[in-house]
Amino acid sequence: MDFTKQTKKIMTNAIKRYSLENEKGNKQTQLMINSEEDFSPTFKVLIDNKPVKDVSFKEIINVKLDLLNKEAIATQFITMCLQRICRENECNYNEVNILIYSPDELCEEIMMYLFIGTKPVKEITFNYLFMEDLTE
């Protein structure tokens, strides 16, 4: 299973859906991953980089019942990524924020940027998220 391709598609669809829901453009709508205790990922919808609501992974993938168990699979990878980011940046779990956004209005590309607190650190890739490329 190509997690990278599937996750990009899920995030693209979510950004488009939340853009329509909030009557904003795709470029104005972002998703944020951060974590609570024990590195459990949490998700937020942002408009113009300001949080508007917390959402679950099921809401992001737009299902009521996750028959394919996508949430458990993604949570495992995201948790490992959050732990790795904390080790690499010598920070606490609650300081890590991953912004997911589209740099273009058509939402043809999805990108991610790592923040420690509010400090921008670096662009990260979906390969990095899924540990397919650890050279970043």
Separation of alpha carbons 124 and 126, rounded Å = 7
Show pLDDT as tens, one digit a residue, over the chain (136 residues).
Answer: 577 788 889 999 999 999 999 999 999 999 999 988 778 899 999 999 999 999 999 999 998 887 777 888 888 888 888 999 999 999 999 999 999 999 999 999 999 999 999 999 999 998 887 765 544 4
What is the model's pLDDT at position 13? 96
